Structure 1
């Protein structure tokens, strides 16, 4: 699950983004309404963390535009200067899923994000099961043949995409977009390394699935005998 973090205060971004990444969430960070619009025109996000006061406008206007366009992506509004009940109600009435004031506790924000992602609209993606492999998206856990196994954060995000596609090919470019944020440094063979580690972990655990390379296109998961 990928997050768009729209925040122009560097100190908040520098402390909040790593906290989400540590929990397994790839995060794209932008600082303006214009850059947020550009990101949203290219990528599908599972959650938007949206500041109210941005250098080129009010985040609430961006939220209103999303809802007019029938974009139901969950949004948590963040604000440091509009603390009144009326302002919070206004944000919620215009389509926000939650509203938090600054300064906020990072753990509380992560908890609120998880709560939103557990709602019915997102729950269909929460647990994916193929053959003897079960992945709990919200809990960031992987079980093979009834036994929990540990894999690195990026390998888990990669597997989430492949399992979620359920037999369809996932283009390599899509994996790059969803496993890495804008600011991540991605080496030429980063995905190949992650795929190698993930394949080894699945084989060692006795998984009855295989990650197949479709040359020149991408990758897919197939059940094995």
Structure 2
């Protein structure tokens, strides 16, 4: 999952970014509204966290412009302004959620999980493909009775494949959703991580769930 964090308080921005990265999200961050729009217009994010009181362009203006472009990126507003009028204004512009500062990071993560689920067909925290179970809340992965330990990057790729099960995802799509703009890329880094996942998910199993579509990409799919 790829998330944009637009927060002008630099210490807060770093804390949010590090927290999300530890959870396996690909994160881009910026400090004003104009930067936020540039990022949002340039990439397809699974969610955006916008501070309302940002320089150059506030969060309301960013959201209004985003929606006028037809982009349905889920947006969570962060603000110290807790009046009902402020919340109503944000929701009326198309915000999906609202979190008042100061906030608990566990609550922020829970709200992000809800927002990212809105972009998929899954409405619970558990995704099932055959005997594979992926819990997007706890980031736990089980196949049959076997618990599978994954790194944060391995989990992020697996979750992205699972949320798009049955669809072929290209190398570029996986890079764009799991890594951020600072990622310089590599000719086979995605291939390497897919290999890691195959060993952990499919090794020793009769049914293989991770499929290669030669010349196109990969998908997660159960045999018919």
Q: TM-score, normalised by structure 1?
A: 0.81
Query: Is the 8 Å Cα contact of residues 207 and 223 (structure 2) preserved in structure 1?
Result: yes
Say if 1:202 and 1:111 are closer, same or farther in 2 by CA, change over 3 A. closer
Give the match for residue 86 of structure 2.
Answer: 87
Say if 1:164 and 1:122 are closer, same or farther in 2 by CA, change over 3 A. closer
Count of residue correspondences: 224
Q: Kindly state the Cα deviation for residue 180 of structure 1 after the two structures are TM-superposed.
A: 1.0
Say if 1:207 and 1:17 are closer, same or farther in 2 by CA, change over 3 A. farther
Say if 1:117 and 1:163 are closer, same or farther in 2 by CA, change over 3 A. closer
Say if 1:204 and 1:17 are closer, same or farther in 2 by CA, change over 3 A. same
Give the match for residue 213 of structure 1.
Answer: 212
Give me the whole-angstrom Cα distance separating, in 1, the residues matched to 2:65 and 2:120: 20
CA RMSD after TM alignment: 3.0
Give me the whole-angstrom Cα distance separating, in 1, the residues matched to 2:196 and 2:53: 42
Q: TM-score, normalised by structure 2?
A: 0.81
Give the match for residue 151 of structure 2.
Answer: 152
SS at match of 1:209: coil
Say if 1:83 and 1:126 are closer, same or farther in 2 by CA, change over 3 A. closer
Q: Kindly state the Cα deviation for residue 136 of structure 1 after the two structures are TM-superposed.
A: 2.8
User: Which segments of 5 or more consecutive residues in structure 1 lack a partner in the other structure?
Assistant: none
Query: Is the 8 Å Cα contact of residues 2 and 176 (structure 2) preserved in structure 1?
Result: no
Residue-by-residue CA offset, 1:131-154 (whole Å, 9 max, x unaligned): 322223343222212433221121
Which has the larger displacement, 170-179 or 199-208?
199-208
- Correspondences of 1:32-181 after superposition (within 5 Å): 32-80=32-80, 82-117=81-116, 123-124=122-123, 126-181=125-180
- Correspondences of 1:2-13 after superposition (within 5 Å): 2-13=2-13
Q: Kindly state the Cα deviation for residue 126 of structure 1 after the two structures are TM-superposed.
A: 4.5
